[in-house]
Chain A
Amino acid sequence: MKIRHSIILGLTLATALTAGATLAAAQEADAPPRQHWSFSGPFGTYDPAQLQRGFKIYREVCSNCHSLKLLSFRNLADPDGPAFTEAQAAAIAATFQVTDGPNDQGQMFQRPGKISDTFPPPFPNDQAARAALGGKLPPDMSDLAKARSYEWGFPWFVIDAFTMYQEDGPDYIHAILNGYTDPPAGFALPPGGQYNKYFPGHAIGMPKPLSDGQVEYTDGTATTVDQYGRDVAAFLMWAAEPKLDARKRLGFQVMIFLIVFSGLLYFTKKKVWYAVLHDPELEKPRAPTEYKS
């Protein structure tokens, strides 16, 4: 009964606090709509076809400004990823020019990429990127899907632990790509900025990168910005978390093992303790004088 009072007090306090939080969150960027992802949930896996489409978008659009420094061409042949064949990955690598060297003459030189090379960045250095793009540095995309999130606040952060929601990064990327609208009346857009309703502060430096029909798909998938956003976000999630499939596979085995093992330990514990809990000596009523302090 008394515990219940404390719990009620605690809950009242928590509700009062969260009411304030909701109010504060309302003034920031819109919540990105939650998409359906093939890799969500306990058995989710990447869809290689989707990752290949996403890679096509990265290659044709994003890679003009954004680097992907932590990935190598060999990663494209990952069976848990885009699942290109090794020959296809090598062919893709060969279409890139990579700076190598110094050679015997002490000169740096350009050569076609090999499967072991990392993705060459679009600019030789960050300063060159800033100079070319109006002072803003486009973020490296290797970890982007894990480096972006949205603060859902209470009670979502509790619910999300149970629903295994780990896709706030891809949801945010998809939302940004679909969030370019005209600024509302009275919104002062800084020079060089674009209005995006999902971007914190709304003024994003990146011009709207994708429009309907811009990237050609050969598998009949719809060529809409909505679909592009989903595909490239899935690709970037894979780029940031390439071991997701392996992780969930192993996780299922570990969970089964731990459930069985804990179950066995539970019954062992019951058996070991049975004699203690059903001690005939204890069942007999005894006068307190039997105990010495």
Chain B
Amino acid sequence: MSGHATYQPQSPFMKWMERRLPIASLVYSSFIAYPTPRNLNYWWTFGGILTFMLGVQILTGVVLAMHYTPHVDYAFNSVEGIMRDVNYGWLLRYMHANGAAFFFVAVYAHIARGMYYGSYKEPREVLWILGVILFLLMVATGFMGYVLPWGQMSFWAATVITNLFSAIPAVGNSIVTWLWGGYAVGNPTLNRFYSLHYLLPFVIAGVVVLHIWALHMVGQNNPTGVEPKTEKDTVAFTPYATVKDAFFVGLFCLVFAYFIFYIPNYLGHSDNYIPANPSQTPTHIVPEWYYLPFYAILRGIPSKLLGVTALAGSIVVLAFLPWLDTSPVRSANYRPLYRQFLFIFFACVIGLGYLGSQEPTGGYVIAARILTAYYFAFFFIILPLLGLFETTKPLPNSISESVLREGVPIGASAPPPGGRG
């Protein structure tokens, strides 16, 4: 590693500052000298991409809020005013709408990476749970944001999703009335969604700070799942991770820009260009693509209460992943069976996403039920049992050893699983 491990203030001002508010040394130790495993692949850049996307969403959102009117009679037209008459309003709005989708692209890649490399395992459980909380907050923020343009899909998505709470026995209907602020989705609903949609991103930013703090306590996982042991196993965050993240943010923006400028309405639904009409239900009510797998789980189950429980459970179960997975080996690279089941799990989530976009009839419902069964079996049956029966491949002794070129003798295999290795 180059440079100092700790921050050494040079100028008199920074020395003065350091004794009063050591912010420079916090930044230095967290984002410059911070050691990151040398073998991180590009799947590890999605954390940086997510931070970048949160910034994009907050910046575009704050400006959009300056031109938006949260009222049932004006919301649709104020969004159209942004698209037509605000300078570069079309750009801000398309960035914000597609930005939400790309935020979810990044978070799904980030979660998939965590699942593949076992990033949730000891000692990273709290880090992982904070991540699940962030995902839940994103889901809530995204949903409320989708309601704000007050098109047909906005209105009916709000109606369908808030109605889910009516499945709760005894108090369900009272909760729904309380959420609506009335006896139907209306102006009070729109107002509170707007208020919360503005609030939650800052809550997300706060939890992101905790998430990064927890990350810096335990250090990053890496593709081998073997903790760094010597200085040779790590490189400094800056410039190594920074430049790698920056490069991938650039590539990510390229795809993001392609959607904004060339197919801005590809991910949206045409019905949301029709103003909300409480007396006319759209033919198909479909959520945004990033909720489709969960929507398929909800609709696949005939009982409303069970469906809602399964919907909530499908996300909440992620928080228990560190304890459901009983294997001490982190990375799927050394777990041949887990790797198989995990890829089937990913295919199953994509399949559920497709089913969520289709009408819930006949074969689709049956397919959705089969995939839902696998979704939960993966967590509650496959993962606990795999840890007990799976024969894992030998782990490398260290990260440096794993990056040695082929042909170089590797030496003895790893110690038996169970330790922090």
Q: A residues engaging B (CB < 8 A)?
A: 2-3, 5-6, 9-10, 13-14, 16-17, 20-21, 24, 42, 70, 75, 139, 142-143, 146-149, 154, 160-161, 164-166, 168-169, 200, 240, 242-243, 246-248, 250-252, 254-255, 258-259, 261-262, 265-266, 268-269, 272-273, 276, 279, 281-283, 285-288, 291-293
Q: Residue on B with the closest CB to A247?
A: B261
Q: Say which residue of A9, A258, A283 sits within 8 Å of B253 (CB atoms).
A: A258
Given contacts A13-B347, A42-B262, contact A261 B250 (CB under 8 A): yes
Residues of A within 8 A of B84 (CB): 70, 75, 242-243
Identity of the chain B residue whose Cβ is nearest the Cβ of A259 in the assembled complex: B254
| Complex Cα–Cα for A142 and B76 (A) | 12
User: B352-368 toward A: CB 8 Å interface, digit per residue (1/0)?
Assistant: 00110011011110010
Do the beta carbons of B355 and A17 come within 8 Å of each other?
yes
**A266, B247: Cβ atoms closer than 8 Å:** yes
**Which one of B25-33, B188-196, B337-345 is at the interface?**
B337-345
A164 touches B355 (CB 8 A): no
**Complex formed: what's the CA distance from A279 to B274 in Å?**
61
Interface residue total, chain B, C-beta cutoff 8 A? 69
| A2 pairs with B340, CB closer than 8 A | yes
Tell yes or no: B77 within 8 A of A by CB.
yes
Which B residues are in CB contact (< 8 Å) with A279?
A: 232
Q: In whole angstroms, how far apart are the Cα atoms of A240 and B274 in the complex? A: 11
Give the distance to chain A from B44, nearest Cβ to Cβ, in Å: 14
Residues in chain B near residue A17, CB distance under 8 A = 351, 354-355, 358, 363-364, 367
Name B62-84 residues within 8 Å CB distance of A.
Answer: 77, 80, 83-84
Question: Across the interface, do B400 and A282 meet the contact criterion of CB distance under 8 Å?
Answer: yes
- Which of the segments B105-113, B382-390, B404-412 contacts the partner chain? B404-412
The 8 Å CB contact of B247, one of A147, A166, A262, is A262
A-side contacts of B243, CB under 8 Å: 265, 268-269, 272-273
Whether B415 sits at the interface, judged by CB under 8 Å, is yes
Closest residue of B by beta carbon distance from A16: B367
B77 touches A147 (CB 8 A): no
Within 8 Å CB of B247, what residues of A? 262, 265-266, 268-269
Chain B residues whose C-beta falls within 8 Å of the C-beta of A269 in the assembled complex: 243-244, 246-247
Given contacts A276-B235, A285-B408, contact A13 B351 (CB under 8 A): yes
Q: Which of B8-16, B138-146, B265-273, B314-322 contacts A (4 or more CB under 8 A)?
A: B265-273
Check A258–B257 contact: CB distance below 8 A. Answer: yes
Question: Which residues of the partner chain B approach A2 to less than 8 Å between Cβ atoms?
Answer: 336, 339-340, 343
Other-chain contact of B364, A20, A169, A254, A293 (Cβ < 8 Å): A20
Mark each residue of chain B from 369 to 409: 1 if its CB lies under 8 Å from any CB of chain A, else 0: 00000000000000000000000000001101101110011
- Given A2-B336, A261-B250, A293-B415, does the pair A247, B343 have CB atoms closer than 8 Å? no
Q: Taking the nearest CB of chain A, how far is it from the CB of B112, in angstroms?
A: 14
The smallest C-beta distance from B365 to any residue of chain A, in angstroms, reads 11
Q: Known interface pairs A142-B80, A269-B244, A273-B240. Does A251 touch B401 (Cβ–Cβ under 8 Å)?
A: no
The complex places the Cα of A245 from the Cα of B336 at a distance, in Å, of 52
Query: For A75, what are the chain B residues with a Cβ–Cβ distance below 8 Å?
Result: 84
CB closest chain-B residue, reference A281: B232
A6 & B359 in contact (Cβ 8 Å cutoff):
no
Contacts of A240 in B (CB 8 A): 273
A-B contact pairs, 14 of them (CB 8 A): A9-B344, A10-B347, A24-B358, A165-B263, A247-B264, A248-B262, A255-B254, A255-B257, A255-B261, A258-B253, A261-B250, A262-B254, A266-B247, A287-B411
B263 touches A164 (CB 8 A): yes
| Closest Cβ neighbor of A240 among chain B residues | B273
A9 to B420, CA, bound (A): 35
Give the shortest distance, in Å, between A264 (CB) and chain B (any CB).
9
Which are the 8 A-B pairs with shortest beta-carbon distances? Answer: A251-B261, A262-B250, A288-B411, A147-B273, A6-B343, A10-B347, A149-B270, A265-B247
